[in-house]
Structure 1
Amino acid sequence: MTDLPDTMQAVVCHGPEDYRLAELPVPRPGPGEALVRVEAVGICASDLKCYHGAAKFWGDANRPAWAETQVIPGHEFVGEVVELDEAAAQRWGIEAGDRVVAEQIVPCGECRYCRRGQYWMCAPHGMFGFKRRTPGAMASYMVYPVEALVHRISKDLPAHHAAFAEPLSCALHAVERATISFDDVVVVAGCGPIGLGMIAGAVAKSPARVIALDVAESKLELAKACGAHDVVNISEQDPVAFVKGLTEGYGADVYLEGTGHPSAVPQGLNLLRKLGTYVEYSVFGSDVTVDWSIISDDKELDVRGAHLGPHCWPAAIRMLERGTLPMDRICSHQLPLSRFQDGLDLVAAGTESVKVSLIPA
């Protein structure tokens, strides 16, 4: 057995707006599992919405609660393998000392979706950082259970860059859902971590044009660094008029929504051409109302959801290892675990940060 401390620092969710730093026992891996020392964990917009009590996580009159209390949050992470048995080593192709990431979903392997290979839609939907059975990474150590989907990643990357594999894989899945063609004009709404990954992924598909929308000039500059051909500050310029002006009045072929703001939904429906494709990735904090006749009678749009990053992790890891994205600028803040509240507040403000990461001691 590796010489480990008895206890560790960890953030624990006790409910909306009630996250606390605690001293907990260091977990021990069971058969077929791996113990990982957490090097970095990103704070996701969905972490923030969960913290603030969004119905998506805590339920309302229309849906039951999905998130659980007494859980360590954090699903964007990277760490070093500390302990594992032979079964885990063979299944995942890893060994002690490797740097590893794991996909955010921990699929059951037995439901209809898992049996069909659609593991990211697993019916029980165990997720790191939201369920008691799968504690997340806002802690010094965590366990990868038997069902985890594990990938190695280079030790040459800064830890907070390596942890970006999770949001980048999500962004790439949204791009895959769009089935982008060479002649397409693609619009990406939002230049946060997901949107920037969408831009880089869309550019890699070689469409005619990628247009980025945001309200922050600093984020639009980052969008250019990720490959956007055009940027529009929607607080100063009408994005619908801009896009139609570039497309002989037709509109964009593809719209990727990555803001989570309700106003981005009708914006996308209005700037798409007839027979265009709308891809929704965001988690919304409140319900969104739109005129559905735009989708049907007006334009006959393809509207597609996107969830998690299935089959996109190897590509995301390659992009990070090859330096495709300006990660020093994207990973704007790294804080010790003890300052998790400052990290949540930075993400909530949205004006000073892009990707905020926590670094356990």
Structure 2
Amino acid sequence: MVHKVRGVVVRAKDAPATIETILVPDPGPGEALVDILTCGVCHTDLHYKQGAINDEFPFLLGHEATGVVSAVGDDVTTVAPGDRVILNWRAVCGECRACRRGEPQYCFDTRNATQKMTLEDGTELTPALGIGAFAEKTLVAAGQCTKVDPAADAAAVGLLGCGIMAGIGASINTGNVSLGDSVAVIGCGGVGIAAIAGARLAGATTIIAVDIDDRKLELARGLGATHVVNSRETDPVEAIRSLTGSFGADVVIDAVGRPETYKQAFYARDLAGTVVLVGVPNPEMTLELPLLDVFGRGGSLKSSWYGDCLPSRDFPMLVDHYLQGTLDLEAFVTERIGLDQVEEAFDKMHDGTVLRSVVEL
């Protein structure tokens, strides 16, 4: 059976996102059909729209999603119809060299649905991050579904599917923030503020938020920052050092992804401290650092891809924190919108006036 549903599609580079009728097949082996409840509007969707990911248009946008499984392939045992799930783009294979050495969070062969969703004329769609959740239904690999407690607000916990998990994981998984640590986060968009929330969750006692926008700094303070620095007015390296006994922070997270912010992170950390890059640079950017400084300062320089998360481990744990009141995921939901407001949400993203717009279906 083929299901006709509405979905948000972009047909060409920088073309407007439009609502189209898409055809979604029933699940085959290893696949799951999911009725979408909510989906966050993420910068990655904007990058797809701009052609910055690849040129495999048309794209079916959306990936930060919560849904309910409506059908599964005959061989699927991990989820069943009726399960509330968060979708992820790290369906681990269990067989690659990373999985075999017990590090599935670095899986080199993550899985997506084999069958294609299409437009009515048969044109195959490329789903964003293998998900395509700005739609009433989507088809994914069963491993992309992580079962979670249905008591949680779908709009809030669905954000764990990408950006919020990336930030929290940058602190907890990649940065290994622990009790009593000092942490600085450069860039207070959704990912950066999530890194701040993750640092608080991990027990950091000094959490410094750095941005050029006072509105974002106030949001950061509300989600765990103990100090804020407007780097338009103050040198952030000197400010971070002054707030950490002149030593620098134990962990500094660059949630911007530019050479200048990375250098700030590098020099704002303590000796033998850790730098985590979670902001995504563009392909033209290069970095120059004195090699003697890299050697002499010691420590770790890390990149965080999806917060080094393992969805089956991390999503339920973070949903439990949300239900217990120790992680305020609802604070990341700036507005709840319909499918026909996605293009408008992209405009608001440019303005920096939202953490997340969330589509509710």
Asked if Structure 1 and Structure 2 have the same fold, meaning a TM-score greater than 0.5 normalized by the shorter chain, the answer is yes
Deviates most, 280-289 or 264-273: 280-289
Deviation at 1:314, TM superposition (A): 2.6
Match of 1:274 in 2: 271
Match of 1:257 in 2: 254
- Whether the 8 Å contact between 1:108 and 1:124 is mirrored in structure 2 is yes
Deviation at 1:199, TM superposition (A): 1.2
- Whether the 8 Å contact between 2:170 and 2:253 is mirrored in structure 1 is yes
Deviation at 1:292, TM superposition (A): 4.3
Letter in 1 for 2:147: R
Indicate yes or no: 2:153 matched with 1:168. Answer: no
Match of 2:146 in 1: 151
Letter in 2 for 1:226: L
Give, in whole Å, the separation in 2 of the partners of 1:133 and 1:241.
39
C-alpha distance 296-343 of structure 1, shift in aligned 2 (>3 A)? same
Match of 1:97 in 2: 82
Count of matched residue positions in the alignment of Structure 1 and Structure 2: 342
C-alpha distance 183-134 of structure 1, shift in aligned 2 (>3 A)? closer
Deviation at 1:322, TM superposition (A): 2.5
C-alpha distance 261-335 of structure 1, shift in aligned 2 (>3 A)? farther
Indicate yes or no: 2:142 matched with 1:141. Answer: no
Match of 2:318 in 1: 316
Q: TM-score, normalised by structure 2?
A: 0.84
SS state at 1:81 partner: strand
Cα RMSD for the two superposed structures: 2.7
Match of 1:11 in 2: 8
Among 267, 289, 304, the alignment partner of 1:306 is 304
SS state at 1:223 partner: helix
Match of 1:122 in 2: 107
Letter in 2 for 1:355: R
Among 10, 33, 36, the alignment partner of 2:34 is 36
Identity %: 27
Deviation at 1:174, TM superposition (A): 1.2
Give, in whole Å, the separation in 1 of the partners of 2:129 and 2:201.
37
Deviation at 1:339, TM superposition (A): 2.1
SS state at 2:60 partner: coil
Letter in 1 for 2:159: F
Deviation at 1:209, TM superposition (A): 0.9
Give, in whole Å, the separation in 1 of the partners of 2:110 and 2:279.
18
Give, in whole Å, the separation in 1 of the partners of 2:43 and 2:269.
26
- Whether the 8 Å contact between 1:153 and 1:162 is mirrored in structure 2 is no
Deviates most, 184-193 or 19-28: 19-28
Letter in 2 for 1:139: A
Match of 2:98 in 1: 113
Give, in whole Å, the separation in 2 of the partners of 1:127 and 1:15.
23
SS state at 1:105 partner: coil
- Whether the 8 Å contact between 1:46 and 1:283 is mirrored in structure 2 is no
Deviation at 1:283, TM superposition (A): 1.4
C-alpha distance 48-236 of structure 1, shift in aligned 2 (>3 A)? same
Deviation at 1:188, TM superposition (A): 1.2
Show structure 2 runs of 5+ residues with no match: 114-124
Among 327, 339, 342, the alignment partner of 1:340 is 342
SS state at 1:164 partner: helix
Letter in 2 for 1:359: E
Indicate yes or no: 2:227 matched with 1:223. Answer: no
Deviates most, 207-216 or 14-23: 14-23
C-alpha distance 69-323 of structure 1, shift in aligned 2 (>3 A)? farther
Q: After superposition, give the CA deviation of every residue in 1:241-269 in whole Å (9 maximum; x if it has no partner).
A: 21221233221121012123443211111
SS state at 1:187 partner: strand
SS state at 1:163 partner: helix
Indicate yes or no: 2:54 matched with 1:82. Answer: no
C-alpha distance 75-324 of structure 1, shift in aligned 2 (>3 A)? same
C-alpha distance 132-289 of structure 1, shift in aligned 2 (>3 A)? closer
Show structure 1 runs of 5+ residues with no match: 59-66
C-alpha distance 71-95 of structure 1, shift in aligned 2 (>3 A)? same
Match of 1:355 in 2: 356
SS state at 1:26 partner: strand
Deviates most, 115-124 or 297-306: 115-124
